[in-house]
Amino acid sequence: QAVVTQEPSFSVSPGGTVTLTCGLSSGSVSTSYYPSWYQQTPGQTPRTLIYNTNVRSSGVPDRFSGSILGNKAALTITGAQADDESDYYCALYMSSDTSLLGGGTKLTVL
Amino acid sequence: QLQLQQSGPGLVKPSETLSLTCTVSADSISRRGTYYWGWIRQPPGEGLEWIGNMYFGGGTYYNPSLKSRVTILGDTSKRQLSLKVNSVTASDTAVYYCVRLLRSGLYFFDYWGQGTVVTVSS
């Protein structure tokens, strides 16, 4: 079974820009996998940030953006803020009508 | 605003069956083809793991690593989704989330239940 890969951790300075990536062990991630991104703070339910590669969910600030970079899906935060410190998860929709979730990236803002 | 209200025991003994229910606040549960309804879990201190999805009038799809022990069923008359995990062990200890996956060419989890903490222990 394929595995979704994410950086275990990342740090960014306040006001800085960071790009988190989402890869697939079996090959390249494309828009055909409908990549989506979720933010989770400790003890909270995940919140949808991005779907269908680059569509921001309702109420999500425009400093969050999604894209395909090379062979991976990417989540970019431009102008990071302290409350962006969270875990970020990528999900891919597979042609077999199954879903794959990445292990998550712990983002530190300092 | 759609709500997914989860219920079920928070403590299950090893080798027994974990059973959870998710009640959906709207009639959209029976809208065939538009939504999948499923479950995701998160062990303590770990990442999210997709368990499976189903859609009414169609099929049920499971994580291959859990398929032999998991059953997801739906009841449109009660607007409920259920999860059963057989022969549980300590590794099934997790927060379990009921989720809706919006199909319609978008395929993402747009609604989440509040989560249920399930501990497997004797």
Q: Among B63, B72, B109, which would you mutate to test the A interface (most chain A Cβ atoms within 10 Å of its Cβ)? A: B109
For chain A, counts of helices (H) and of strands (E)? 0, 11
pLDDT band at B71 (very low <50, low <70, confident <90, very high): very high
Interface test with B, best of A45, A49, A50, A53 (most B CBs within 10 A): A45
Percent of chain A with pLDDT over 70: 100
State the Cα–Cα distance between residues A12 and B71, nearest whole angstrom: 42
The answer to whether A93 contacts chain B (CB < 8 Å) is yes
The whole-number average pLDDT for the span A79-87 is 97
Taking residues B93-120, report their average pLDDT.
Answer: 94
Which tokens hold the place of A84? 């962006």
Asked whether B50 and A101 are in contact (CB, 8 A), the reply is: yes
Contact A19, A10 (CB under 8 A): no
Going by pLDDT thresholds of 50, 70 and 90, the confidence category of residue B14 is very high
Q: Which residues of B touch A102 (CB under 8 A)?
A: 47
